Chains A and B, each alone.
Chain A
Amino acid sequence: MTTRFRRGSVAVAAAALLLLIARIGGADSLTPLEVAYAGSMGSMMDGGIRPEIAKALGAELRGRAQGSTGLANLIVAGSIRPDVFIAVTPEPMRIVLAARKAMRADPIARTEMVIAYSGQSKYAAALGKAGSAGAAPWWRILQSSGFRFGRTDPNADPLGLNVIFTMQLASAYYHQPDLAEKILGQHINPSQIFQEPQLMARLQAGQLDAAAAYKTQPSALGLPFIELPAEINLGHATMAQQYRRASVTLNGKARRPSPLVFYAAVLNDAPHPALAKRFLGWLNSVPAKRILTQYRYDTPGDAVPLMP
């Protein structure tokens, strides 16, 4: 090959590469909006919110889903710098507020605990009938020997903690003193604990019989679920005092349940602060509320904003 030909082909290759990089680097006219949110919110964020805010705000949603507590810690450490943080339950949000990474958090939605189960499980029929008269109740079916129950890590994920609270409350509600222990085993039970996205995936694949979940999760994945009584499902702000009868000690700290409210905050060092504020405002709009309802999120009710 002659030198000129080689130089020419290198130049062409470099130009092609630069064009490709420009394409990947986001050559569209939408402004990026980086949102870190609780792991369970993925389907609504990508499926419902993303197309809407592209039209309404000219924003390209760049979502990052993970357990809320894990995200809060990454934000406080400065490892990630999103525009907006959406957490479930106040605790992860309080971590961020206490570290002065945000000035306030507003409630945007609410959910409650349910038991999702796999249609392929041998207990599926029994679980499907669980509410009706004469049928075995869900908590008895979950205690069957060989029943494979799944949940998440209470240290990294509010959902993991909330399962334990729910089972403790159920134990009092149904007058079954050993219910929680029989269903869950120890707080950290290696045979039951999985990472959040894998939990639903394993349910789908039939590797687990049932798992604890927020009401928003199973329907997105086509999974059936059992609703729980208001007294134990952590979903009602009016029952907050009743919920606080449950308690779990993790790493030496006693933790008590809070109602399952989703809070959203604009972060202080947001790369796109104006757009972030507009997004939070938009979450109160009619189209936003319609999306929330479509994905089975409830309205925040009488929950109040959080301040540092």
Chain B
Amino acid sequence: MLAFTLALLYPLVGLGAPVGHWRWDGSIPGSTMSAVDVSLVLTGIALVLDVIVGTPVAWYLSRASGRDTILWEAAVLISVLMPPLALGILLSLAFGPSMEPGAWLLRLGLPTSNSPIAFVATQFYVSVGYYIVAARAAIAGVPIDLERTAALLGLRPWQVFRRITFPLARLGFAAAVSLAWVRALGEFGAIVVTSYYPSGMPVQIWINLQDAGMSAVMPLLLIFLLIALPLPWAIHLLAQRRGSDAHA
């Protein structure tokens, strides 16, 4: 286990490369904290959307019979399999002025590129598929008989989910949320096309790299790791602890 962990964490050694004095703000004062703000808040909103939209979808895919869900499964898989850069280019065209939904949104005054809306929408598109795939597996692990029994006893679907399904699938949901979070937080290929501004951390790393070189990138890499890690780790620990309580 130790050997594996060391091998896995080896790339972090790169942080110690001799690149000169670390510059904590690149060439633009305040850009580092601004990028952290943008990443945390807007990705957080996208994560909430993932959970709100993705959970019912995951439940349906998990409980409906195989024949009914073939097309829906394919749709979810397409969103997961698309290379991020391809997704970004397609999003920028589909929501751009040359196609009708985009043109309509623009007429309403909603900027569909380089705006918080574009940022959150792109984050949603890249991460919701991952959330659904993981959440579906989590729900599938809960015996359907328990849900059916609860329904027979008079509980409505939302209550069944809250009192039966979710507590038993806690760990799986924690994994699904963590996966969607890290996927969205680290997203670069799609975001760099659709929403260069406001700049999240991955785009800011790119900007710093071009403007000032490695000495301005290292600090942001370190901050990125420190920021990205707590949420999924905490969720996992919480889920594990309460999971074991439930079984005690």
Which residues on A are within 8 Å of B, measured CB to CB? 17, 20-21, 23-26, 32, 34, 39, 42-43, 45-47, 50, 62, 64-65, 74, 77-81, 120, 196-198, 200-201, 204-206, 220-222, 269
Contacts and interface: CB of A to CB of B under 8 A. Distances in A.
B209 A77 contact: no
Given A46-B211, A205-B18, A24 B196 contact: no
B197 interface: yes
List the 6 closest pairs (A to B, CB-CB), nearest first.
A42-B211, A42-B210, A47-B27, A197-B210, A46-B27, A221-B213
A222 B20 contact: yes
Interface of B: 17-20, 26-28, 37-38, 41-42, 45, 89, 92-93, 96-98, 113-116, 193, 196-198, 206-207, 209-215, 217
Nearest to B203: A64
5 contacts: A17-B45, A34-B114, A80-B113, A206-B18, A222-B20
A245 B114 CA distance: 43
B213 A201 contact: yes
Given A62-B197, A78-B96, 18 more contacts: A20-B37, A24-B116, A25-B198, A34-B197, A43-B210, A46-B26, A46-B27, A47-B28, A62-B114, A64-B196, A79-B93, A81-B113, A196-B210, A201-B213, A204-B20, A205-B17, A222-B20, A222-B213
Nearest to B17: A205
A220 B212 contact: yes
Prevailing SS type, chain A contact patch: helix
Nearest to B44: A17
A51 B207 CA distance: 16
A198 B217 CA distance: 11
Contacts of A34: 114, 197
A205 B52 CA distance: 45
Contacts of A201: 209, 213-214, 217
Given A20-B41, A34-B114, A43 B209 contact: no
Contacts of B197: 32, 34, 62
Nearest to B31: A46
A25 B98 CA distance: 24
A81 B96 CA distance: 9
Nearest to B102: A78
